[in-house]
Chain A
Amino acid sequence: MNIVVCVKQIPDPAEPGALDPNTKTLKRDTKLILDESDAYGVEMALQLADAAGGGEVTLVSMAPNNETAGLRTALAMGAAKAILVSDPSLQGSDALTTSKVLAGAIKRVEGADLILTATESSDGYTGTVPEQVAELLGLPSVTFAKSIAVEGSTVKVERQTEAGYDDVECPTPCVVSVTAGVVEPRYPSFKGIMAAKSKPVDELSAADVGVTAGGWAGAGQEIVAVEQAPAREAGEVVEDDGTGAEKIVAFLENLRVI
């Protein structure tokens, strides 16, 4: 079973980030690491390939520079190879261009049975790429998978909803986005890290995958304003006059957590 995982390399969230004042997008000229939310997709893919008794996990990624550090982490976890589309013209690309690039790269992987993505990246959070990729590839798409099983040419997904989960079935090949926390991503082993050095990373330009990118200027989306998150407000104090329990229940219901 061959699986493609779309992964993103992002600035380390542990370091203080900065915005480009012109485009209002995150500066990405620092070292990039594997987006943690993508580690779940990689782990899921490795487990599915194991369960199927074989097959390759291929990473597909896009980065403005030739950064491969994050890809190496995923290769060290056990992925077999990677395709990195890296082109200065892609700097500041919007979600649709990103999807076109990823779809173009995925087309170059022969015999992919399943394409996994995270539900959204941890730096951009547009959350639209998985469905756009599916549409561009002409494949069915299932979102918010909290578990995936493959039986023959059918993918069985437990799809997370607000109330619980839906059981969804879908023929392969298809695109499935997985939620964080569904599997425990493995830490790369020392051997895995050493092996990752010699795994192939195919570096392509935008033209190689048939995309003419216009950067941020050509983007179909615009960030109108960036504002500071509002300061945390003081909490509400409920005096228990005998109806405290009811008020708490009402409060929690309002938050839709019960």
Chain B
Amino acid sequence: MAAYRPPLQDIRFVLDELVDLDELCQFESFKHVDPDSIHTAIEEFARWTAEVVAPLNRIGDLEGAVHDPETNTVRTAPGFADAYAQFRDAGWGAVPFEADYGGGGFPWLAGIVMQEIMSAANLSLSMCPLLTQGAIDMLMAHGSEAQRELFVPRMVTGQWTGTMNLTEPEAGSDVGALRTKAVPQPDGTYRITGTKIFITFGEHDMAENIIHLVLARTPDAPPGTKGISCFIVPKFLVDDDGNLGERNDVACVSIEHKMGVKASPTCVMSFGDEGGAVGYLIGNENEGMRYMFTMMNNARLSVGLEGLSIAERAYQDALEYAQERKQGRAVGAAAGVQSPIIEHADVRRMLLLMKSIIEAMRALVYTQAETIDMANHHPDPELRQYKQLMAELLTPVVKGWCTDMGVEVTSLAVQIYGGMGYIEESGVPQHYRDARITPIYEGTNGIQALDLVMRKLPLKGGEVVTEHLSLIAMLDPALLRGGAQLASIRSNLAEALTTLADTTHWVMAEGATDPRQAMAGATPYLRMFSLVTAGALMAKTALHAAERLDAGTGDADAMRAKIATATFFCAQVLPQVHGLVAPVRAGHDQLFAIGVEQFAH
């Protein structure tokens, strides 16, 4: 198992070439920041994370978080509380939040880069600040000024952490089915009773208070998603100055025994065993679901990013192993000497597959973060709205594709390790097990596919997706100018784009007349859409690398490797889109051709 090394060189390439930090730093919100400070902060954070956080990943997997049923407390894995204290004291959690609430006022993009490093170093630990970030987002967008002032600065510093309480035993993907009750009190507060499950870091020993954001129904709420309200339920009640008071009526009654991310306590939370937990309404009653949607782009970007992170970590392990492990004699190697397995064609193929997918994911995740920054901070309101729509369109792509690829790349890492990859002591199975949750939580990838075809393609009557495809088509002239070096990238991308455009037309037309047709093909369509989007980003990568080669700037070998990796992706991964046409168009009837009873042979 290799020690995690934050991939600063590749991160820097994407920041320099595929996004525009200079432009972001011109915006009023980021006037006090400059690209240099962003790079410095990333580098120092990377050093701390690699040295302090990454070494705890394995022990987290071995020891996990432990629940004490006597006290309903959770002890995190050895070293976690100390690492979190260092994270908090250094102020790392504050980086992308508003300066008015104690944040660093950096672009979201900068926070996302740091999140990539943190999640790669230790996915379990990274989930605590991630959930806190989601809760801060919610409070900033919909909390009252008093709520923001009381809770947000302490969560920005990391002194208090946050959770999101949505899921219940009978309400998973269908959040509208939730039953937790919230009864208004004469003093304006509510009493919350009910049980929530799968609550990440719902209880732990790393912070003095935990601010639970809880979805619940008021007594007269309409059924389904229209009757959901959102409440603040602090673990310890606090006075107006933020001093901790009485323990609220909320308890972690157990934690799950999971396949992966074992050091992240996944809690069963019981509200109101002693008569009702005190909750404070966020915004208005029955608008909780709408509020959830406003923070969804950020949350889903961060989970997509986890796919990238864990893939990078597994790739580093596999690459080191492939260089050290000697088996067989590669074609052309000297007689009597075993070759490192990286010299064998199929291992090369796997490594290039991993490397190219990771580079595409990084480009996708960072450009999406930039789009979100633009949507929130660009001075031109029209452009803000345009970027907001582009972010909406690509949210299911980032979440769905990157998490699927996280599983695929970590699986390839296991494969490269051979038999040792199936042995826990090698450390590689952890990545595969950890990655496996990411296509499930924050909206399963099935939900992402439905989101793309049912909600996102129809945005503005299809104008948004058309714009996205046009932007890809507009790469063509530059690729043509790139000559022979970029010729195969150009032709592969053009062919894939044609296939996607035709299929998109079919999905939208069918979806308009019979949504069941579009829903049946949603998952292969999401894959197709993602591959073309990723292919376009790899083409852009190659263009920028070729420009640097021509200009003689940057490391020439690294730039040639970029072009070769993009060429590989567009030749060997991207053409999968053509094989996806039939599954997308197969339609509803094929899936329902047999009765439920016929599924058993």
List the interface of chain A (C-beta within 8 A of B): 14, 69, 72-73, 76, 187-191, 193-194, 196-197
Instruction: Report whether B44 and A76 are in contact in the complex, using a CB–CB cutoff of 8 Å.
Output: yes
Instruction: Report whether A193 and B40 are in contact in the complex, using a CB–CB cutoff of 8 Å.
Output: yes
Question: With A73-B44, A76-B44 given, is the CB distance from A190 to B37 under 8 Å?
Answer: no
Instruction: Report whether B47 and A187 are in contact in the complex, using a CB–CB cutoff of 8 Å.
Output: yes
Interface of A is mostly: helix
In whole angstroms, how far apart are the Cα atoms of A196 and B40 in the complex?
A: 10
Contact partners of B89 in chain A: CB under 8 A: 189
Instruction: Report whether B37 and A187 are in contact in the complex, using a CB–CB cutoff of 8 Å.
Output: no
B91 interface residue, CB < 8 Å from A? yes
User: A189-B89, A190-B90, A197-B40 given. 4 additional CB < 8 A pairs?
Assistant: A73-B44, A188-B90, A193-B41, A196-B40
In whole angstroms, how far apart are the Cα atoms of A164 and B37 in the complex?
A: 44
21 contacts between A and B (CB under 8 A): A69-B40, A72-B40, A73-B44, A187-B47, A187-B48, A187-B51, A187-B90, A188-B44, A188-B90, A190-B41, A190-B90, A190-B91, A190-B94, A190-B95, A193-B37, A193-B40, A193-B41, A193-B44, A194-B104, A197-B37, A197-B40
Smallest CB gap from B34: residue in A = A197
Contact partners of B41 in chain A: CB under 8 A: 190, 193-194
List the interface of chain B (C-beta within 8 A of A): 5, 36-37, 40-41, 44-45, 47-48, 51-52, 86, 89-92, 94-95, 104
Instruction: Report whether B104 and A190 are in contact in the complex, using a CB–CB cutoff of 8 Å.
Output: yes
Q: Give the A-B pair count, Cβ closer than 8 A.
A: 38
Report the 7 A-B pairs with minimum CB-CB distance, sorted nearest first.
A190-B91, A189-B90, A187-B48, A188-B44, A191-B91, A193-B41, A189-B91
Smallest CB gap from B36: residue in A = A197
B132 to chain A, nearest CB (A): 16
Smallest CB gap from A189: residue in B = B90
In whole angstroms, how far apart are the Cα atoms of A194 and B94 in the complex?
A: 12
Instruction: Report whether B86 and A187 are in contact in the complex, using a CB–CB cutoff of 8 Å.
Output: yes
Smallest CB gap from B42: residue in A = A193
Instruction: Report whether B44 and A187 are in contact in the complex, using a CB–CB cutoff of 8 Å.
Output: yes
B32 to chain A, nearest CB (A): 9
In whole angstroms, how far apart are the Cα atoms of A190 and B36 in the complex?
A: 14
Smallest CB gap from A33: residue in B = B43
Contact partners of A73 in chain B: CB under 8 A: 44
Contact partners of B5 in chain A: CB under 8 A: 14
Among A69, A73, A76, A194, which residue has the most Cβ atoms of chain B within 10 A? A194
Contact partners of A72 in chain B: CB under 8 A: 40
Instruction: Report whether A194 and B92 are in contact in the complex, using a CB–CB cutoff of 8 Å.
Output: no
Contact partners of B90 in chain A: CB under 8 A: 187-190
A9 to chain B, nearest CB (A): 14
B295 to chain A, nearest CB (A): 23
A113 to chain B, nearest CB (A): 29
In whole angstroms, how far apart are the Cα atoms of A73 and B39 in the complex?
A: 12
Smallest CB gap from A196: residue in B = B40
A187 to chain B, nearest CB (A): 4
Contact partners of A197 in chain B: CB under 8 A: 36-37, 40
Contact partners of A191 in chain B: CB under 8 A: 91
Smallest CB gap from A192: residue in B = B90
Contact partners of B51 in chain A: CB under 8 A: 187
Smallest CB gap from A191: residue in B = B91
A18 to chain B, nearest CB (A): 13
Instruction: Report whether B44 and A194 are in contact in the complex, using a CB–CB cutoff of 8 Å.
Output: no
Contact partners of A194 in chain B: CB under 8 A: 37, 41, 104
